[in-house]
Structure 1
Amino acid sequence: MCIECLKLPPLHRHCDLPAKIVIMASEASSSKGEFDIYQTYRKILDDEEMSPPLAAILSLSQLMVESNAGTMFELVKELHDGAEELKRHTTNPISLNAGCELFIAFVTLFPHESDSFAELKTELVKQGQKYAKEAISYRNKIAELMLDFIKDDSVILTHSYSRVVMRALLHAHKTKRISVYVTEARPRGLGVKTHEVLTAVGIPCTVVLDSAVAYVMDKVDFVLVGSEAVVESGGLINAVGSNQMAIIAKAAHKPFYALAESYKFHRLFPLSQYDLPTHNPSILSFPSLPPRPFVTPPTTSGVSPPIAKSGIDESLNVTPTSSSERSMSAEMTAKNPDVDYTRPDLISLVFSDVGILTPEAISQYLVAMFAG
């Protein structure tokens, strides 16, 4: 089967996935010949165009190739175990979860007339790889759908760095004049990467402070963001800061559009930020401080304790930092979330390879997709 796959003509430089996965699988195997699903997953992600859900689908496909399962029950159990292994090594498993869910549902619901389980497993592997190969083109479909909503001389606000958003902007740039504001997106600063790519191709682009989103909102025509996952409520999980952008866009009566490949549709129904799988007690927690010593109040009424010229109580013994030193430490950054949840009522439309959907339509699509 793999030899036949290698004969398939590549659609573009990222589409020769069957050949790539075979090479990665052999490299990820240990000296004992054991398949390491996480190492395979990491090697697939070395390709910058590959997103976590697709990498998870390809990794699980290769797990089936390596599997010795003799029944469907054993195979599905191995897939669940493989998915758990991937999640265990990932601090933010949301988009990875979406890919794993989709692939396991596909295997479970796959219609077949095979005479033997070996033939069925071979067909499942072939179809899984075929899906991943086709899924690479989904961003192009989304970019084409988005094109009609981008008018000449549009001013667009985007957030951080998103592969599908970049594809849409670069596609629009071929035929239309556009200008882009992009948030810095701290702490990783991926907005700077967006700025570099857009500027290199001639798209006017300005980086905006995360705290200046409200300031710039009146200058833009609409907001365009990517996604880590689109959930059953029709809401969006994306890089932290997306939610506040949506709130400000709603207040300013500006459309807020989300772009999402269908393999990022996730059976998850968060009601708040604290329902996300990535939330844990350490996020935004207060540090444990030693108890303050008891200070006897002054006996003279009407006399205040002495105040330093800086306006800081000298008893606090605080040494002011210089402006160059006033930045978040790694410990401070670690206490902040990587992603946030945007409610469906703040989202105008979701552009996907399956069409242009309202947030309300997302739930219906998810039910149909996982019901077979």
Structure 2
Amino acid sequence: MASPESNRFDLHATYRQNLQNHEISPPLAAILALSELVVNSGAGTMFELVQELHDGAEVLKKSTTNPISLNAGCELFIAFVTLFPHESDSFAELKSELMRQGQKYAREAIAYRDKIAELMLGFIKDDSVILTHSYSRVVMKALLHAHKTKRISVYVTEARPRGLGIKTYEELTAAGIPCTVVLDSAVAYVMDKVDFVLVGSEAVVESGGLINAVGSSQIAVIAKAGNKPFYALAESYKFHRLFPLSQYDLPTHNPSILSFRPPQVTAAPSSPSGVSPDHQNEAINGTSSATPAAPSSRTMSADQIACNPDVDYTRPDLISLVFSDVGTLTPEAISQYLVAMFAG
């Protein structure tokens, strides 16, 4: 059997091309790419086709350092193909129908964010102060929708190292929503000023927990301590049959993340002419009037950033509700929904 990599059809290129559409998230891009793989497949039986889809999913997962969201889409499409009723006159017709159904689902799924935004609207009161983290398309949809009828103000974390909170700030400010960027290290400082926390998701897992941009877990811990609701927004195609018990069970974790490296000894800089060691200490301790070092000299290097995680896992006991296109779910209901969804 020919593998997806050996066929003329370029699965990865198709996936990347789908992502060029801002409305298409990684799970939908994966579904669309696998839909095209079906019709380009040389498989002659359903068993061969499903195997080729699994191989294709592996190709896509190996192409990214964070395959979690992408894998949720692959998992959903493969389950759909497996459970799809065989009513076509020929296998070629069946493959064409599977491709059409996959593309139809992706087109309809784009509207899921509108449904979630409308569902979330009932939980946003006038003059609400909201804290959000990083950048999320579904969260942006919910906030912009609420802004049409209600007065809201938003705190958004900077979300280092990618700084995607700045993108959120720019879009909210352009829409006329009062917005302030908060240091990631100042979340506890600002928590008393907010009514609730609202975050997006990379995936919602079978435990009812959440995988999202790193920093989400600590925000949830602080929200719990401050007795503030922590709401997550997630399209149903991000529901993932994964059951992590800790941060280190995530597929994105590897031995290099947060590992200790041998220290690199560098020669101490010589004292500038005419500056005593005591005066150097004053500058270090902040008691001197000398100009402080430029901030750029104290930022993390690319090497240091690479040793840190991109996403983290938020436990279900820290999540108040998950708003999805299939309804408002408690973390406990997520597992039941996932079992029903994949059982057909």
Same-fold call, TM cutoff 0.5: yes
Paired with 1:364 and 1:278, the residues of 2 have a C-alpha distance of 25
Task: Return the letter of the residue paired with 2:14.
Answer: T
Which of 176, 190, 197 aligns to 2:150? It is 176
The equivalences for 1:79-98 within 5 A come to 79-98=53-72
User: TM-score, length-normalised on structure 2?
Assistant: 0.90
Match of 1:277 in 2: 251
The equivalences for 1:17-32 within 5 A come to none
Paired with 1:138 and 1:286, the residues of 2 have a C-alpha distance of 43
Match of 1:223 in 2: 197
Paired with 1:73 and 1:131, the residues of 2 have a C-alpha distance of 23
1:115 shift after superposition: 2.6
Which of 118, 121, 145 aligns to 1:144? It is 118
The equivalences for 1:243-282 within 5 A come to 243-282=217-256
Paired with 2:257 and 2:236, the residues of 1 have a C-alpha distance of 29
Match of 1:326 in 2: 298
| Residue 370 (str. 1) matches residue 322 (str. 2) | no
1:159 shift after superposition: 0.2
Question: C-alpha deviations, 1:316-337, integer Å up to 9, x for none?
Answer: xxxxx92431111111111110
Task: Return the letter of the residue paired with 2:202.
Answer: E
Question: C-alpha deviations, 1:165-211, integer Å up to 9, x for none?
Answer: 00000000111110000000000000000000000010000000000
Match of 2:308 in 1: 336
Match of 1:353 in 2: 325
Question: C-alpha deviations, 1:45-86, integer Å up to 9, x for none?
Answer: 111221000000000001112112111011111111111110
Q: What is the total number of aligned residue pairs between the two structures?
A: 321
Moved more, 32-41 or 196-205: 32-41
Paired with 2:86 and 2:59, the residues of 1 have a C-alpha distance of 28
Question: C-alpha deviations, 1:73-129, integer Å up to 9, x for none?
Answer: 111111111111101111100000000000000000112322321222122111111
| Residue 105 (str. 1) matches residue 79 (str. 2) | yes
| % identical equivalent positions | 81
User: TM-score, length-normalised on structure 1?
Assistant: 0.83
| Residue 122 (str. 1) matches residue 96 (str. 2) | yes
What SS does the corresponding residue of 1:274 show, helix, strand or coil?
helix
Which of 186, 191, 210 aligns to 2:165? It is 191
Distance 1:291 1:158, change over 3 A: closer
What is the RMSD of the two structures over their aligned residues, measured on CA atoms? 2.0
Paired with 2:153 and 2:263, the residues of 1 have a C-alpha distance of 48
Match of 1:37 in 2: 11
Distance 1:288 1:145, change over 3 A: same
| Residue 154 (str. 1) matches residue 128 (str. 2) | yes
Greater than 4 Å deviation, 4+ residue runs = none
Match of 2:288 in 1: none
The equivalences for 1:3-82 within 5 A come to 34-82=8-56
Paired with 1:289 and 1:241, the residues of 2 have a C-alpha distance of 27
Task: Return the letter of the residue paired with 2:307.
Answer: K
Paired with 1:33 and 1:155, the residues of 2 have a C-alpha distance of 53
Paired with 1:289 and 1:199, the residues of 2 have a C-alpha distance of 44
1:291 shift after superposition: 9.5
What SS does the corresponding residue of 1:203 show, helix, strand or coil?
coil
Distance 1:326 1:352, change over 3 A: same
Moved more, 69-78 or 51-60: 69-78
What SS does the corresponding residue of 2:305 show, helix, strand or coil?
helix
What SS does the corresponding residue of 2:193 show, helix, strand or coil?
coil
Task: Return the letter of the residue paired with 1:322.
Answer: A
Match of 2:271 in 1: none
Paired with 2:7 and 2:240, the residues of 1 have a C-alpha distance of 34
Paired with 2:7 and 2:334, the residues of 1 have a C-alpha distance of 42
1:289 shift after superposition: 3.1
Q: Structure 2 regions of 5+ residues with no counterpart?
A: 267-276, 283-291
What SS does the corresponding residue of 1:238 show, helix, strand or coil?
strand
Task: Return the letter of the residue paired with 2:159.
Answer: A
Paired with 1:54 and 1:149, the residues of 2 have a C-alpha distance of 28
Q: Indicate the structure (1 or 2) with the bigger Cα radius of gyration.
A: 1
Distance 1:115 1:190, change over 3 A: same
